[in-house]
Chain A
Amino acid sequence: MSMDVNLAFFIDLFFHIMGMWWVIVPSILLGLIVGAIPGFSAANTIIILLPLTFLMEVEVGLVFMIALYCSSRLGAGIPAILVNIPGTAGAAATPLDGYPMAKKGLGQRALSISFVSSIIGGVLTTILALVTMPLLARVGFYMHSVEMIVVMLFGISLIASVAAKDMIKGLIAGFFGLMIGSIGADHVYATPRGTMGFLELYDGVPLIPALVGLFAISEAFLVIESGSLLSKSNVQNVDNASWKETIKGVRITLKRWYHVTWTSMIGLIIGVIPGAGAAIASFVAYQQSRTFSKTPDAYGTGHYEGLIAPEAANNGVTAGTLIPLMVLGIPGGATAAIMMVVMQYQGVPTGPRLFVERPELGYGVFMAMLVTYLLMAFTILPMSRYMSRVTMVSTTYMSPIIIAFTLVGSFVPREYMFDMYLAFAFGIIGYIARKTGYHVAAILIGVILGPLLEQYMLRALKMSDGDPMVLFSSSLGNILWAALVITLILPAFLKRRRQPKTVE
């Protein structure tokens, strides 16, 4: 099949995909539900529905998967904001500022900010992906292990920021997280370390039980001690909230369009790198956002930009992960890998041949993403008012529900009872940490990013026969090192500059 790819082609394609709203809208609703349930994900759901996908026409199947993928990413932010349960690792940075907003009775506004920044981030990065796809696909050719080590350090340096209020406790928490992250077989010789004889820990500590345990279960233990998630005055806030709160959230986000744009670009670029993912992107975006903020100390207390950054970034990843699959034929993530299976099953080529033989499918995937984000603006935004009411539910009911949901969510990815016990154990660790003033986010950053850093580090060292100078062997890597040093020094420098000079 051969056709001209010009503006008319894209306009035609846009309206053609728009005409498939009957697939997209139900997929959005399904995606929001599975995204909001901890442990479920677009990848899991697509695997479950794989036989159905095989029966669909290839175009319908791809649009269905894309809509599910985008909406589940957005859906994961909902419980992260309202009840401190990040549904996936990609939403792990969302509660840092989203949940404090919900606790102040500003859940509706927080949801609105999250939705709008996700949608704008998704739309912008999809358009950019459509325009610069061949160029972006080259990122993977330059971002190798050495460069990824520095990217990981950007994320891990967030521990220091999180720990700013109590440096010793913060660093201890971060170090503890890194130690937990090092449990499992080493990445080269598969020698088990710290598994305590549990085979279930051989592949490392599973992420979802750690995530929901540290954040959600510990939170459930804490809120059970109080009658409500909200204080009396904050209950009043939720009671009085009208549609204006949603609109206010939209306006706050639109006013920060520049912030949404550059943090979503971080997501897009990290998403393009095969094997990297939304968790890295959202932590790096949060760290960068804080570094260049004029009010870094407000992060972690319900700062708008602290919510915008991870949400825009993890939706930027969505477009990014599909680029290596479409342009090079290598899937960038789990969902992309399943899409590849479906495409191969239907006899559709991936890689460069796709855009020659079936351009309407190659570009259609990104157009479906664009249409999904646009339709989500109308389907999900109005829901924010009703969703935020969750925070009003008495903790007598809420805590058991949170614990039940999260334990089931821990079970789902691997279907091991062990993972439920593990989530509970992490819940207790999280509870003790909170009670004693250790930041659970610092532990979690170590758990999520530690194994990835180790993996890239060991790979780089293996490639260089153990020579540590390999870390400074690439030009791009050295530029990134310099950028890392600058972003670590810059906040202190800016803070000093902003302080009024005193005359001695």
Chain B
Amino acid sequence: MNFDAMKRRQFLKTGAATAGTLLAGSLMSSPAWAAYPDRNIDVIVPTRAGGGADRLLRAVSSVWKNHLNTNFEPGFFPGASGRVGYEVYMGKYQPDAYSLIFGNMGPEVLNWAVKAPSFDINDYFYFGRVDTDPGVVFVGAESKFKSIDDIITEGKKRKLNVGTSRLAHPASIGILALGEEVGVEFNLVPLSGGKKTVAGAVTLEMDFCVLTSGSVIAAGDACRTLLVFDNKNLAGDKLSNAPTMNDYFGTKLPPMYSARAFGIHKAAADKYPDRMELLQKTFKDAMNDPAYKEAFLKSKGFWPYSNYGGVAECEEFKNAMLELGGRYRSLLTGK
């Protein structure tokens, strides 16, 4: 063995060892081998920071992070009634279970029924419902209408103007369904947002309004609730002890909820079933954790509206919204 040969052999050995170490290192650090999750999870919120979704997300993620052993990083992409956030999520985020969307299944799914997005709506699905907040019929404190019967009686004499935050909203669908049931035609007037809808009722510009109950509860004595689109009035006197539509009219309408839920790319669930399983399990654990109730109440949430739901419940709700949106499409689009 001469010196040169030894050097060459040594060089090859060292090179191979280095390459092996680097290869192993790179394989170990690749997401496929690493324990999930090994970094923060992005949560796309299709509404503005500081709103109800933001507060609710903070409450959930403050507990969920302990079960999943990672942090959640919210990113807010408001605009176009939620479309911008969904388009960003579906278009710009990798389907690797490191990004989720935190949306509102009611109005946002109705959006798809009215106008399809650029992506296939079956390319994502909701897997974790956080809350359900029913739509209500309400009037301003100074309104002459004291009960839902007063509205129907007046509605048979003239076409009443009904304020709503936007046409493609579960509460709008609820009032259209009520109109069909009792043979009264209502004129839906979109007022561009919850605050303006409450103002429309309080200032008596509208005959009455429909909206998600949380905003009506927040308005306090300024509003009076006359009907709830749910199976039960969970808020009781906060919603003026108003009857539910199904109880009062004997209908079988599904609840008209705004329902906040986490969604994920379908491709991520297909490619990483273990990750999906972990997400679902830890989400459910977090929702059942007593610390979550504490965080929810601290964010001034209304606890009876906290309502866990898994993939099946979310899918059922999504399909119901798509079906209702399709049924009332012409009224919602004017076409």
Q: Which of A's residues lie within 8 Å of B, judged by CB? A: 47, 50, 140-141, 144-145, 185, 187-191, 199-200, 202-203, 274-275, 324, 328-331, 337-338, 340, 344-345, 349-353, 414-415, 455, 459, 462-463, 465
Contact = CB atoms under 8 A, between A and B. Distances in A.
A414 B334 contact: no
A188 B198 CA distance: 17
B79 A414 contact: yes
List the 9 closest A-B pairs by CB distance, nearest first. A202-B80, A329-B222, A47-B50, A274-B199, A144-B205, A140-B203, A189-B334, A330-B199, A463-B161
Interface in B135-173: 142, 159, 161, 166-168
A330 B219 contact: yes
B273 interface: no
Interface in B293-326: 300
B79 A203 contact: yes
A337 B195 contact: yes
A344 B218 contact: yes
28 contacts: A47-B49, A185-B80, A188-B167, A188-B334, A189-B332, A190-B115, A190-B168, A190-B190, A199-B79, A199-B83, A200-B79, A202-B80, A203-B80, A324-B199, A328-B202, A328-B222, A329-B220, A329-B221, A330-B195, A330-B219, A345-B300, A350-B220, A351-B220, A415-B76, A459-B189, A462-B187, A465-B159, A465-B187
Interface in B180-234: 187, 189-192, 195-196, 198-199, 202-205, 218-222
Contacts of A351: 219-222
B235 interface: no
Contacts of A465: 159, 187
B37 interface: no
A353 B221 contact: yes
Contacts of B49: 47
B282 interface: no
Residue of B49, B205, B300 contacting most chain A CB atoms (<10 Å) = B205
B81 interface: yes
B55 to A, nearest CB: 8
A340 B218 contact: yes
Contacts of A199: 79-80, 83-84, 87
B176 interface: no
A329 B196 CA distance: 12
Contacts of B202: 140, 328-330
Residue of B49, B159, B204, B218 contacting most chain A CB atoms (<10 Å) = B218
Contact of A187 (B83, B159, B190, B333): B190
Nearest to B222: A329
Nearest to B192: A187
B189 A463 contact: yes
B114 interface: yes
A190 B166 contact: yes
A202 B79 contact: yes
Nearest to B332: A189
Contacts of B192: 187, 455
A46 to B, nearest CB: 8
A275 B199 contact: yes
Contact of B300 (A324, A344, A350, A414): A344
Nearest to B217: A344
A203 B48 CA distance: 13
A345 B114 CA distance: 36
Contacts of B167: 188-190
Nearest to A47: B50
A427 B175 CA distance: 46
Contacts of B220: 329, 349-351, 353
